[in-house]
Structure 1
Amino acid sequence: MAILAEYREFIMISTTDFSKRIVGYRLTDCIVRNKETIFFIASEDCTQWTDWEEDGGYPEESALYKRVISLQMSRGQPQKWGNATLHGYSRLTAGISQVPKEQLIVGSLTGQIYIAGSGDIGAEDEIESYLRGTLDSFSTIEGKLYIAGSGRTVGIRKGKNLWQWISQDLPYDEKEDVFTAGFASLDGFSQSDIYAAGGKGDVWHFNGKQWRHIDFPSNLRIETICCGGDGRVYISGCEGHTFVGRGDTWKKVKTEDPISLSFKDMAWYEDRVWCSNDYGVWWIVDDQLVKATIPAFAQISAGHLSARDGVLLLAGFYGSAFLEKGQWHQIFSYNEMVDRCKAEGLYDGVLQARWHEFKD
C-alpha cells in the first residue's frame, strides 16, 4: 500500500477570485485536464437567495445559471482563475478529449455541448437527436472522449460538431424503462476493450467491433464504473454496493460499514480505486471498501473526483482539494472563504434575490 503524506500546502483561491467566481454557486463536477489545468462545473445555489422559500419547490434545472471554472497552476507562476457563465443548460457533466485536440468538453443532460481549449471556446451543436435518452457521463479512453447515455447510447468525439455513434447495434426497445437499461457510465482499458453499465445490472462489453451482454450477478441500480490499473473492472451502484471482475466473472467488494449514498465517481489513482460521494471518500484495498485515510480538509471536499496526469482532484459541496506526489493541497473551503470575503468587505452575505422569478 502506498504511503500518502498528509502535508498541507495552502494554494487557497484569493478572496477576490472566490467572490467573483464561486460565491452563490456549488461545485457539481470536476475534471483534470493535466497537472497544470483543472476545471470545475458549478451550479447556482438557489437555497442561498435571500428570498428563498424552502417549501416553495425548486426552479427548473435549466433556469439556474451554470459556470465552467478553470484553474491554471503553472509551477512558479501565479495561479490563474477564469470562468464562463452558461444559461439554459440542464445538469452538466465534464470530460477531457485529447484527440484530435486537447479540450474540455461539457455536456448537458439533454445533449447541449460546450467546449474550451486548444483555441476553441463556446457552444457547439446540440446532440439531442442522437441520444436515445439522456447524456449521463464522459470517459477518456486512449485519448478519445466517449459518451455514455441512457437507452444504451454510446458515442465517440471525432472533432468539432462530429460524433461517431457506436450503439446502433445495441438492442433497445423504446418502451423499455430507462431505469432498467444502461448506460450511466463507461470505461475501458483500450478502444477494443470497453465496459458500459447502467440501469439495473445492465452491463455490456465492446471489443471495438461488437457488443456483448455481460452476465452480471446483480440487478442493483448501477451508477459508475472504473477500469482499474490492476486489469480488473469495478462497478458500483446504489448505497455503494460494488463488484469487481471482468468478463462474466464477478465478486462483491466487502464493506466495513454501510454506505447510504451511491458513489458519484470512481477513479484509479496510484495503486487503488478511489470512490466518492457527498458523505466522504473511500478506497478499495484488497477487495474491501474502506474509509480513505486523508486530511480533514480533503474529506470535506468529497463529492466528485477526477484523476489524470499524476493528479487526483476532489470537489464537492464544501470545497476542493487535490493530491499530487503524495502531498495534499487545499484549493478552498467554501465556508471559510465566505467568512474571509465578508471580513474583507467583498461579500455582505446577501445574494441576488431571484426566487420571485420562478414563483407562480
Structure 2
Amino acid sequence: MKIFLDEATWRKVVADFDITDIAVRDRNIVQLCLKTKMSNEDASQLLNEDIPSRIVTLFLDRAPGNNFGFQELQGMRYPSVGVSRAPFPRPSGLIVSRSSKGDVWPFGGGNGPMEFIAPDGGRPATRRLKCINGYTYSVGTGRRVYRRTAVGKWLRIDNGLPQTESSTAQGFSDLDAFSESDMYAVGGNGDVWHFDGAKWTQQGFPSNVELATVTCAGDGNVYISGEGGSLWVGNKSTWKRIYKGSSSILWNDVLWFQDKLWLASDYQFRQWNGKELVPVKHEGENVYITGHMDAYDGILVVASLDTVMQFDGKSWQVLVAPYPVS
C-alpha cells in the first residue's frame, strides 16, 4: 500500500517526533500534533512544555512535495489539536497548551496571534478541543468549559456548575452534543452533567469510576466510556452498562461514523456492533492501528505514535508511516 507522505518528507517532518493528537479540518485537510521523540529517561528530566512541539498539516488533495506544512511551537504543555469552523471567516486549526491561561495558537486559516482561553490565569486545564456547530469548546478538569465566541475571545460556560475547589473526582475529560442546547460533559468519578443551552445540571450515574469520553451518537443515544474501557449507553440520568472492560487504560476517543460506534485507545481499535466490541475489519482483515481518532466530512482518521491511517467509508489509506532505517 502506497504511503501518502513520501520518504523524504517523512524524514524531514515526522521522523524525529511522536504523534500525540489528530484532527480533521475537512475531508482534504488533516492536522497532527507532534512532540519531539526522546527516551523516557531524557523526557523525565524535562517539563512537558520544554519538549518542542510541531504542528503538521496534511493536504490530501495535493501532489507529493506540496502536500504538507509544518510549524514549530515552544512552551506547549500537553498540547491538544482542534478545529475552528464557521461562523468564523474561514476554517483553521487550533493547538492549545495546558497552561495557566490556556494558550491557543490558531494556524492554517491565518497563523496567530496567540489567544488565551482564560487571560486572568483561570487554568482552563484543557483536555480536549471539540467543534460543535462551528464553535470550538475547551473542556477541562475542574468542570471547566469554554466556548470560542470570536477570534481571541473565549466565554466560560459555567451557569449551574458549583464554585468549589477542584479535585480529581470532578470532570471534565470530554464533551459532546446533539445541539448547543443538548450537551453532555463527563469526567472525574462518575461526574456527568447536561447543558440545556442555559444551565448545567448534574445527572445521576450508576458508577463512580473514572470517566473518559462521551459521544452523542447518530442513533440518538449517548455513550460514555470509563475505567477499564467499560461502556455505558443512555441519556440524562438513565444509563445502562453494555460492556464491562478489563483494560488497564482508558479509551482515548469514541466516535460515531458510518452508523457505527468506533473506539480507539493506545492498545485497541474496536467497533460496537450492538452486542459486543469487535476488532475493526476491512474486507475480512483486521485493521491494525491504535491511538487517537477524529472524524468529519466523510472521513475518519486514526493516529498512533508513528502511523496515521484514513478511512473514507470504502477504503483505508496510510497517510504517514515509518520508512526503513537508511
Matching of residue 105 in structure 1 with residue 94 in structure 2: yes
Instruction: Give 3-state SS (helix, strand or coil) of 1:19's partner.
Output: helix
Instruction: Give 3-state SS (helix, strand or coil) of 1:219's partner.
Output: coil
Q: Check the 8 A contact 1:66/1:85 in 2, yes or no.
A: yes
Deviation at 1:163, TM superposition (A): 1.1
Aligned residue among 59, 65, 68 for 1:72: 59
Aligned residue number for residue 303 of structure 1: 291
Q: Check the 8 A contact 1:107/1:114 in 2, yes or no.
A: yes
Alpha-carbon displacement from aligned partner over 1:217-270 (angstroms, at most 9, x marks no partner)? 111111111111111111111221111111111111225x73332111111110
Matching of residue 223 in structure 1 with residue 215 in structure 2: no
Aligned residue among 83, 95, 110 for 1:96: 83
Quick one: distance in 2 between partners of 1:287 and 1:16? 45
Quick one: distance in 2 between partners of 1:73 and 1:39? 11
Matching of residue 135 in structure 1 with residue 135 in structure 2: no
Aligned residue number for residue 212 of structure 1: 201
Over the matched positions of the two proteins, sequence identity in percent amounts to: 29
Q: Check the 8 A contact 1:132/1:151 in 2, yes or no.
A: no
- State the AA in 2 paired with 1:234: Y
Deviation at 1:211, TM superposition (A): 1.1
Instruction: Give 3-state SS (helix, strand or coil) of 1:59's partner.
Output: coil
Alpha-carbon displacement from aligned partner over 1:103-162 (angstroms, at most 9, x marks no partner)? 1111111211011133x2034232343645511111111121111111111111112111
Aligned residue number for residue 9 of structure 2: 17
- State the AA in 2 paired with 1:13: L
Matched residue count = 320
Give me the TM-score of the superposition, normalised by structure 1: 0.83
Quick one: distance in 1 between partners of 2:41 and 2:161? 45
Alpha-carbon displacement from aligned partner over 1:295-314 (angstroms, at most 9, x marks no partner)? 87942x31000000000000
Instruction: Give 3-state SS (helix, strand or coil) of 1:16's partner.
Output: helix
Aligned residue number for residue 180 of structure 1: 169
Instruction: Give 3-state SS (helix, strand or coil) of 1:91's partner.
Output: coil
Quick one: distance in 2 between partners of 1:251 and 1:272? 18
Aligned residue number for residue 23 of structure 2: 31
Aligned residue among 133, 141, 151 for 1:160: 151
Aligned residue number for residue 330 of structure 1: 318
Quick one: distance in 2 between partners of 1:10 and 1:84? 26
Aligned residue number for residue 5 of structure 1: none
CA 144–222 in structure 1, closer or farther in 2 if over 3 Å, else same = same
Alpha-carbon displacement from aligned partner over 1:60-98 (angstroms, at most 9, x marks no partner)? 101100011000011778751110011111011111111
The structure with higher relative contact order (CA 8 Å, sep 6+) is: 1
Q: Which blocks of at least 5 consecutive residues in structure 2 are unaligned?
A: none
Q: Check the 8 A contact 2:160/2:201 in 1, yes or no.
A: no
Instruction: Give 3-state SS (helix, strand or coil) of 2:111's partner.
Output: strand
Aligned residue number for residue 135 of structure 2: 144
Aligned residue number for residue 357 of structure 1: none
Q: Which has the larger radius of gyration?
A: 1
Quick one: distance in 2 between partners of 1:321 and 1:288? 24
* Larger displacement relative to structure 2 (19-28 or 325-334): 325-334
Aligned residue number for residue 35 of structure 2: 43
Alpha-carbon displacement from aligned partner over 1:45-70 (angstroms, at most 9, x marks no partner)? 111xxxx857x834110110001100
Quick one: distance in 2 between partners of 1:171 and 1:88? 32
CA 59–81 in structure 1, closer or farther in 2 if over 3 Å, else same = same
CA 24–149 in structure 1, closer or farther in 2 if over 3 Å, else same = same
Give me the TM-score of the superposition, normalised by structure 2: 0.92
Matching of residue 86 in structure 1 with residue 73 in structure 2: yes
